[in-house]
């Protein structure tokens, strides 16, 4: 289990695999982002995106799922305060296969003795290795409990 003390600035971890289906793109969009270019192939073709694309928030949610499956079981974390610099760089389309990489950017010691913040830059890549999304998450890590406590 990685605690705050175990995290090293510059460490990079590659993880996850997420197959993006048309059905899931449309289902997410129907619930949360019902814009024509996320819902309807015909309308999407006529849009500036030239075809159906996933909601950017859906891509963020798929990243979170990859983080939950691969990173959180190994990390003493308790959620995040939020994120900075989220960029949707390229469209995510049906049939894309996404993966992720996370890089430790900064460790921020606060006042609390039991936890501290780590800035983690995560990038979502498609099957061609293109970065489709990036962001810097503000993750709360627990501090390693003192021996004997």
- Strand, helix or coil at 52? coil
**Please, what's the b/e burial string for 3-27 (b: 16 or more CB within 10 A of its CB; e: otherwise)?**
bbeebeeeeeeeebebebeeeebbe
Tokens of 114: 């039991």
In DSSP terms, 107 is beta-bridged to 118
Residues within the interface to another protein (CB under 8 A): 28, 31-35, 37, 47-49, 55-57, 60-62, 64-65, 68, 72, 78-88, 135
Q: How far is the CB of 68 from another protein (least distance, A)?
A: 5
Judged by beta carbon, residue 10 or residue 110, the one nearer another protein is 110
The rounded distance, in Å, linking the Cα atoms of 121 and 102 is: 6
Q: How far is the CB of 63 from another protein (least distance, A)?
A: 9
Q: How far is the CB of 106 from another protein (least distance, A)?
A: 15
Judged by beta carbon, residue 8 or residue 90, the one nearer another protein is 90
Q: How far is the CB of 100 from another protein (least distance, A)?
A: 14
Count other C-beta atoms under 10 Å from residue 67's C-beta.
21
Judged by beta carbon, residue 8 or residue 89, the one nearer another protein is 89
């Amino acid at each position: 289990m990685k605690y705050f003390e175990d995290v090293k600035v510059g460490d990079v971890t590659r993880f996850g695999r997420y197959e993006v289906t048309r059905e899931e793109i449309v289902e997410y969009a129907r619930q949360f982002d019902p814009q024509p270019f996320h819902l309807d192939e015909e309308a999407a073709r006529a849009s500036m995106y030239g075809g159906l694309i996933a909601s950017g928030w859906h891509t963020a949610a798929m990243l979170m799922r990859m983080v939950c499956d691969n990173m959180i079981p190994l990390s003493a974390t308790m959620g995040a305060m939020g994120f900075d610099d989220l960029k949707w760089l390229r469209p995510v389309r049906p049939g894309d296969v996404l993966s992720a990489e996370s890089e430790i950017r900064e460790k921020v010691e606060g006042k609390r003795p039991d936890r501290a913040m780590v800035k983690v830059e995560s990038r979502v890549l498609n099957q061609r290795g293109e970065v489709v999304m990036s962001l810097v998450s503000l993750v709360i890590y627990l501090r390693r409990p003192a021996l004997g406590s």
